[in-house]
Amino acid sequence: MIVWKQFRVPLLALTFTSVVLALGNILLLPANDKSTVTPFVFPEQVPLSQWRLSISPPLPKPTKEHSELLAQKHYRYIKNDWFLDIEMRYLTTGNVVKLLQNYTSVTSSAEVRQQKGVGYYGIGVDQQRAYLSACINFQGGTTFTQEQFDQNQYFSDLHPQRLLSWLKGQEGLKDRRCLWAHLSVPLKNSSPEAAYQVLEKAWFSWYQWWQPRFPKS
Q: Count Cβ atoms below 10 Å from residue 85 Cβ, excluding itself.
A: 18
Residue 34: pLDDT band by 50, 70, 90 thresholds? Answer: low
Average model confidence (pLDDT) across the chain: 82
pLDDT at 49 over 70: yes
Q: How far apart are CA 134 and CA 83, in angstroms?
A: 19
| DSSP for 91-132, written as a single string | ES---HHHHHHHHS---SPPEEEEETTTEEEEEEEETTEEEE
The structure's pTM equals 0.79
For 9-30, write each residue's pLDDT tens digit.
544 454 444 344 344 444 444 4
| Residue 187: C-alpha distances to residues 131, 182, 191 (Å) | 10, 16, 7
Higher pLDDT, 15 or 44: 44
Q: How far apart are CA 79 and CA 90, in angstroms?
A: 26
Residue ranges covered by each domain of the chain: 1-30, 33-213
Q: Which 8-state DSSP code applies to residue 166? A: H
For the chain, percent of residues with pLDDT exceeding 90: 62
Q: How far apart are CA 122 and CA 181, in angstroms?
A: 11
- Predicted local distance difference test score (pLDDT) of residue 96: 97
For 115-164, write each residue's pLDDT tens digit.
999 999 999 999 999 999 999 998 889 999 999 999 988 755 544 454 44
